[in-house]
């Protein structure tokens, strides 16, 4: 059982990144990811938030990473767990689940 609530942040934008044409939108990925994590780790709280890279919140950490996604031409959505990049463009559930398990989450 996780001893602290992990934060998952999905950075993305309304428009798809140029090389992500056939992939789901950032928002769709966010919703799909949230549902998948809830199914995989029931009764284990976590926090998930979506950050629009072109309209980030005032919170400095999130705003500065949003700039980094744009400046470094990262494939979005970019998924972070506790500050670690665990997925870019087409995030894989297996990788995300493995990172959650490192933080004490158990299926």
| CATH number, domain containing residue 15 | 3.40.30.30
Question: Distance from first CA to last CA of the chain, Å, rounded?
Answer: 9
Give the pLDDT score at 37: 97
Query: Alpha-carbon distance 56 to 61, whole Å?
Result: 10
In a domain, 107, yes or no: no
**Is 72 part of any domain?**
yes
Residue 18 belongs to some domain of the structure: yes
Q: 3-state class of 41 per DSSP?
A: coil
Reading the block at residue 83, the tokens are: 């500050």
- Rounded CA-CA distance 80/8 in Å is 6
Which pLDDT does position 42 carry in this prediction? 93
| Residue 82 within any structural domain of the chain | yes
Q: The domain containing residue 30 runs over which residues?
A: 6-102
**Does 89 reside within a domain?**
yes
Q: Is residue 31 part of a domain?
A: yes
Strand partners, 47: 7
Neighbours of 70 (CB within 10 A): 14
Examine residue 56 and state whether it is found in any structural domain, yes or no: yes
Q: Does a structural domain hold residue 17?
A: yes
Q: How many domains does the chain have?
A: 1
pLDDT tens series, the chain, 107 aa: 556 799 999 999 988 766 667 788 899 999 999 999 999 999 999 999 999 999 999 999 999 999 999 999 998 999 999 999 999 988 999 999 999 999 999 97
């Amino acid at each position: 059982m996780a001893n602290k609530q992990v934060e998952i942040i999905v950075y993305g934008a309304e428009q798809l990144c140029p090389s992500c044409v056939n992939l789901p939108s950032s928002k769709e990925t966010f919703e799909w990811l949230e549902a998948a994590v809830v199914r995989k780790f029931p009764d284990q709280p976590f926090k998930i938030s979506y950050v629009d890279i072109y309209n980030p919140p005032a919170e400095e950490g999130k705003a500065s990473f949003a700039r980094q996604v744009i400046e470094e031409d990262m494939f979005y959505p970019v998924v972070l767990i506790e500050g670690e990049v665990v997925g870019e463009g087409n995030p894989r559930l297996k990788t995300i689940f493995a990172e959650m398990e490192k933080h004490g989450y158990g299926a």
